[in-house]
Homo-oligomer: A and B are copies of this chain.
Amino acid sequence: MSMATERDDLAADMAVLAANARRAAKSLAAATSEAKNAALAAMARHIRAASGRIASANQRDVALATSQQRTKAHIDRLTLNPERIEAMARGLEDIAGLPDPVGAVMANWTRPNGLEISRVRVPIGVIGIIYESRPNVTADAGALCMKSGNAAILRGGSDSFQSSSLIVECLKAGLCEAGLDEDCIQMVPTSDRRAVGMMLEGLSGAIDLIVPRGGKSLVGRVQAEARIPVFAHLEGICHVYVDAAADLAMARAIVVNSKLRRTGICGAAETLLVDRAGKERLLEPLIAALIEAGCEVRGDAEACAADHGVKPASEEDWHSEYLEAIIAVRVVDGVGEAIEHIARYGSQHTDSIVTGDAAVARRFLDEVDSAIVLHNASTQFADGGEFGFGAEIGIATGKLHARGPVGLEQLTTFKYQVRGSGQVRP
């Protein structure tokens, strides 16, 4: 077959997918919460019933990835064991338990001429999810899109193709059982990489939004190439600034937790800024606590002088998202210089200040231009669940529409419904 013919075939397949998604989105927008929740419960049942088959399919995916010399971390992300399959089913039930955002009246008011205006939440339409090896994203992202009334077009990594295909079968079975269109959740049926390019172009207007789930190279490519809106964060270069007016015990607990509770998540702190005015009291104990907890510390000259275990930091360190037990430490001249450092090196994700001074805290919360700014709390709270949103599809550092944790509400838009009694405009 010629390349041109192959490309035409792919384009034709993607056009069918797009048309199906549009049709499904239209019917799903009008679906009741009961039907959507019934579908989610049925999906969970089907996942549990197919647990053995999913595990076998996953073993074939893992065997192939192993033969291709994938990294251990990659294989771990790809692997589904019975506990992970059960967690996936429970995740679907959790989403069923969340309030349905669709149809909620966000605001309503009456104009002097008697027109009643309501701002009502409606689904966005069709959401494309581009992800890597984790097969559980299939269930998680498909369900979040569906509950928020959006059709999903899923494009997972080729590594997890067999596991994900079987999971999608279970999701579709759940949709059918609840009387919903099974094309509410579709998977791109090929691992042809050009399909991703077509999705990033929006499939001729059929996709409203792209959510990438995965590492920095995937997100970077999606952000650079997408011609349609993207909800994502490229990286989380999160800071903790410890002010001179901080309580040492609190600062120590927050710094260690922000960096080390889990080092691989986007809300993990990567840089510690310490106020020069509090240096004598704070710097050495904070560094000691980090080193004692197993963290490598790279610092500026003052940090190096404070503890012999500190390695000199280079300019590159202030730009680094380590995602490991490494932290960069710098001494700054008060909250002003901390804010400047964060503006220059941060990623507008999550930043925290530790201080007992309310005015300094207010300045930090107002002036740091990040999705999430915290006072006297760990950066690791940057999470939809911790915000009370339930499951999240990711965290966005863009400023438009969604910012911070992206939960069900952020996957909706709104329309204005205006009710009159014959009003015409003078």
Interface residues of A (CB under 8 A from B): 26, 29-30, 109, 111, 115, 117, 122, 124-125, 208-209, 229, 247, 250, 253-254, 256-258, 261, 343, 361, 365-367, 369-378, 380-381, 386-388, 399-401, 403-404, 413-425
Nearest chain B CB to A105 CB, angstrom units: 12
Nearest 10 Cβ contacts at the A-B interface? A377-B420, A257-B424, A401-B401, A250-B422, A380-B425, A400-B401, A374-B418, A376-B420, A399-B413, A378-B424
Chain B residues within 8 Å of A115, by CB: 377, 381, 386
CB pair A403–B415 under 8 Å, yes or no, is yes
Seed contacts A250-B422, A378-B424; 17 additional CB < 8 Å A-B pairs: A26-B343, A30-B366, A109-B388, A111-B386, A115-B381, A208-B400, A253-B424, A254-B424, A365-B417, A373-B415, A373-B416, A374-B420, A381-B418, A387-B416, A399-B413, A400-B401, A403-B415
Closest to A339 in B: B26
| A424–B259 CA distance with the chains assembled, in angstroms | 11
Nearest chain B CB to A258 CB, angstrom units: 8
CB pair B257–A371 under 8 Å, yes or no, is no
| A257–B404 CA distance with the chains assembled, in angstroms | 44
CB pair B422–A229 under 8 Å, yes or no, is no
Where chain A touches its partner, the secondary structure class is: mixed
Q: List 21 A-B contacts (CB under 8 A).
A: A26-B343, A29-B369, A30-B367, A109-B388, A111-B387, A111-B388, A122-B369, A124-B399, A125-B399, A208-B400, A247-B422, A250-B422, A254-B422, A365-B417, A371-B415, A373-B415, A377-B423, A378-B423, A378-B425, A380-B425, A404-B415
If A373-B416, A381-B418, A388-B111 touch, whether A261 touches B30 (CB-CB below 8 Å) is no
In the assembly, how many copies of this chain are there?
2
Chain B residues within 8 Å of A26, by CB: 343, 369
Closest to A426 in B: B261
Nearest chain B CB to A247 CB, angstrom units: 8
CB pair A261–B424 under 8 Å, yes or no, is yes
Chain B residues within 8 Å of A404, by CB: 415-416
CB pair B208–A418 under 8 Å, yes or no, is no
Closest to A251 in B: B422
Chain B residues within 8 Å of A418, by CB: 372-375, 377, 381
If A254-B422, A415-B370 touch, whether A209 touches B386 (CB-CB below 8 Å) is no
Chain B residues within 8 Å of A375, by CB: 417-420
CB pair A425–B386 under 8 Å, yes or no, is yes
| A365–B117 CA distance with the chains assembled, in angstroms | 12
CB pair B416–A371 under 8 Å, yes or no, is yes
Chain B residues within 8 Å of A388, by CB: 109, 111, 117
Interface centre among A258, A343, A386, A423 (most CB of B within 10 A): A423
CB pair A376–B109 under 8 Å, yes or no, is no
Chain B residues within 8 Å of A380, by CB: 424-425
| A400–B208 CA distance with the chains assembled, in angstroms | 9
| A386–B420 CA distance with the chains assembled, in angstroms | 13
Nearest chain B CB to A37 CB, angstrom units: 20
| A209–B398 CA distance with the chains assembled, in angstroms | 11
| A343–B388 CA distance with the chains assembled, in angstroms | 36
Closest to A366 in B: B30
| A247–B417 CA distance with the chains assembled, in angstroms | 20
Closest to A224 in B: B227
Chain B residues within 8 Å of A124, by CB: 399-400
| A125–B403 CA distance with the chains assembled, in angstroms | 14
Closest to A228 in B: B400
If A117-B387, A125-B399, A386-B111 touch, whether A425 touches B381 (CB-CB below 8 Å) is yes
| A385–B415 CA distance with the chains assembled, in angstroms | 17
Chain B residues within 8 Å of A247, by CB: 422
CB pair B421–A376 under 8 Å, yes or no, is yes
